[in-house]
C-alpha cells in the first residue's frame, strides 16, 4: 500500500477511541444480524461488517460540523460520525425515534446535527452531492470539509467521474473515500475496470490518489488526516482507495457462493477488529481488562439502544405529508 502509517502514530487516547468505535460498530452489526436471522427484527440491511477501520478513522478525523455523505452500507460510517444508535436502529426499524422519525429507512439516514447530510441507495449519487456541499462551503467561506463514502463499484459511474473532475478543477474541500471491499454486488472489482487500482483514477483529474490498507485503523487515520488537512487548507480533494472486505456479502442473507474460499479465509485473518485488539494488547496501549471492558460496554450500549427502539412507536401516518418541501427560511447547506 502507498500509505503505510506515515508520520507519528495517533496518541494512546485516539487509539483507544478507534477501538471503542470499531467494537461498537461490530456489536451493532452482530446484534442486527442476529435479530434479522431469527425473525426478531424486520428490516433491509447491507452489512458493512469488516469495514470498521475506515469508519472509525472518519470518527476521529472529522469535526462534528464537517459533513459526511454515505450509502446504504452506512451503519459504521453513521456510528463513526456520531449519530446515536437509537436514531440509526430507529430509522432502520421504522420507529418515531429514528433520525427521520422512521420514514427514511436504512437507505436514507441523515442527521444534520451530526454532520450527516445524506445516505443514498443510488450507486454513485453521493459524490456530486458532496461536491455541492464543498462548493457551498468554499463560496460562503465556511470552514468545513465534506467526506463522501462510496464503494468500488461507484467509481465506474459517470456521476463519480463528473464529481471528481469538478472537485479537482475548483480545489474543493472534499475527500473521496472509496471503501473498496473488492465487490460490487456479486462482481469482483477486477472484472469491472482495466486499470489496476482505484487510486490511479485520481491522476486523470489532477488530484492525489492514495491506496490505503482499509483494515488498518492507524494507516487509515494517517491517510484521512492528510486528506482532510489538504481539503481544509485549500489544497483541494483527495481520492482514498481503502482496501477492505465485507464479511456478510452484499445484502444480509447473501449466500456468497461467488466468493472463493481462499479469499474469505485470507480476509478473516485480516479482520480489522480482532487484529487491532491484538495490536493494542501487544503495544501495551490497552490491558486485556480494558479491552474486555470496551467489548462489554459496546454490547451493553447496543442492547440498551435496541430496547429503546423496540419500545418506541412506529412511524406515524402523518409523516407522509410532512417534510415534503424544504423550508426556504431555514435551509442548511
Ligand X SMILES: Cc1ncc(C[n+]2csc(CCOP(=O)(O)OP(=O)(O)O)c2C)c(N)n1
CB of 111 to Mg ion, least distance (A): 24
Residue 296 grid coordinates: 462489554
Residue 123 interacts with, from Mg ion, ligand X, none (CB under 5-8 Å by kind): ligand X
Residue ranges binding Mg ion (CB under 5 A): 151-152, 181, 184
CB of 62 to Mg ion, least distance (A): 22
Which 3-state string (H, E, C) describes 81-134? CCCCHHHHHHHHCCECCCCCCCCCCHHHCCEHHHCEEEEECCCCCHHHHHHHHH
* Contact residue for ligand X among 73, 101, 201, 230 (CB under 6 A): 73
Residue 205 interacts with, from Mg ion, ligand X, none (CB under 5-8 Å by kind): none
172 binds ligand X (CB under 6 A): no
Residue 185 interacts with, from ligand X, Mg ion, none (CB under 5-8 Å by kind): ligand X
* Contact residue for ligand X among 149, 181, 215, 238 (CB under 6 A): 181
| Nearest CB to ligand X, comparing residues 98 and 153 | 153
| 77-136: contacts with ligand X (CB under 6 A) | 121-124
154 binds ligand X (CB under 6 A): yes
CB of 74 to ligand X, least distance (A): 9
Question: How many residues touch ligand X (CB under 6 A)?
Answer: 15
CA distances from 91 to 49, 50, 116, 247, 308 (A): 19, 22, 14, 23, 12
Residue 122 interacts with, from Mg ion, ligand X, none (CB under 5-8 Å by kind): ligand X
Which distant-in-sequence residues (6+ apart) come within 8 Å of 247 by Cβ? 47, 49, 50, 264, 267, 268, 271
Q: What value does the CA radius of gyration of the chain take, rounded to a whole number of Å?
A: 19
76 binds ligand X (CB under 6 A): no
Residue 283 grid coordinates: 503495544
Residue 26 interacts with, from ligand X, Mg ion, none (CB under 5-8 Å by kind): none
Residue 246 grid coordinates: 465485507
Residue 121 interacts with, from ligand X, Mg ion, none (CB under 5-8 Å by kind): ligand X
Pairing of strands 187-188, 183-184: antiparallel
| 242-261: contacts with ligand X (CB under 6 A) | 250
Residues that bind ligand X (CB under 6 A): 73, 121-124, 150-154, 181, 183-185, 250
Amino acid at each position: 500500500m502507498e500509505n503505510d502509517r506515515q508520520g507519528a502514530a495517533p496518541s494512546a487516547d485516539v487509539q483507544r477511541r478507534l477501538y471503542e468505535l470499531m467494537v461498537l460498530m461490530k456489536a451493532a452489526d452482530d446484534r442486527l444480524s442476529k435479530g434479522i436471522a431469527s425473525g426478531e427484527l424486520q428490516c433491509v440491511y447491507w452489512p458493512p461488517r469488516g469495514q470498521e477501520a475506515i469508519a472509525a478513522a472518519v470518527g476521529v478525523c472529522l469535526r462534528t460540523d464537517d459533513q459526511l455523505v454515505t450509502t446504504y452500507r452506512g451503519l459504521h460510517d453513521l456510528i463513526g460520525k456520531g449519530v446515536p444508535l437509537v436514531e440509526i436502529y430507529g430509522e432502520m426499524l421504522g420507529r418515531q425515534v429514528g433520525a427521520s422519525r422512521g420514514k427514511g429507512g436504512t437507505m436514507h439516514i441523515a442527521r444534520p446535527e451530526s454532520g450527516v447530510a445524506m445516505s443514498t441507495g443510488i450507486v454513485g449519487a453521493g459524490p456530486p452531492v458532496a461536491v455541492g456541499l464543498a462548493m457551498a462551503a468554499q463560496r460562503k467561506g465556511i470552514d468545513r470539509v465534506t467526506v463522501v463514502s462510496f464503494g468500488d463499484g461507484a467509481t465506474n459511474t459517470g456521476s463519480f467521474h463528473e464529481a471528481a473532475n469538478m472537485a479537482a478543477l475548483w480545489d474543493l474541500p472534499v475527500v473521496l473515500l472509496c471503501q473498496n471491499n473488492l465487490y460490487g454486488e456479486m462482481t469482483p472489482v477486477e472484472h469491472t475496470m482495466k486499470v489496476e487500482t482505484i487510486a490511479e483514477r485520481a491522476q486523470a483529474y489532477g488530484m492525489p490518489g492514495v491506496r490505503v490498507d482499509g483494515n488498518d485503523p492507524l494507516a487509515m487515520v494517517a491517510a484521512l488526516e492528510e486528506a482532510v488537512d489538504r481539503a481544509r487548507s485549500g489544497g483541494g480533494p483527495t481520492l482514498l482507495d481503502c482496501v477492505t472486505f465485507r464479511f456478510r456479502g452484499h445484502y444480509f442473507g447473501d449466500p456468497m457462493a461467488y466468493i472463493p474460499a481462499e479469499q474469505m479465509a485470507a480476509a478473516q485473518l485480516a479482520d480489522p477488529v480482532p487484529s487491532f485488539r491484538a495490536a493494542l494488547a501487544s503495544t501495551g496501549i490497552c490491558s486485556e481488562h480494558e479491552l474486555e471492558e470496551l467489548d462489554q460496554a459496546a454490547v451493553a450500549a447496543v442492547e440498551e439502544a435496541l430496547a429503546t427502539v423496540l419500545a418506541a412507536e412506529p412511524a406515524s401516518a402523518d409523516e407522509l405529508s410532512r417534510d415534503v418541501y424544504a423550508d426556504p427560511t431555514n435551509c442548511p447547506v
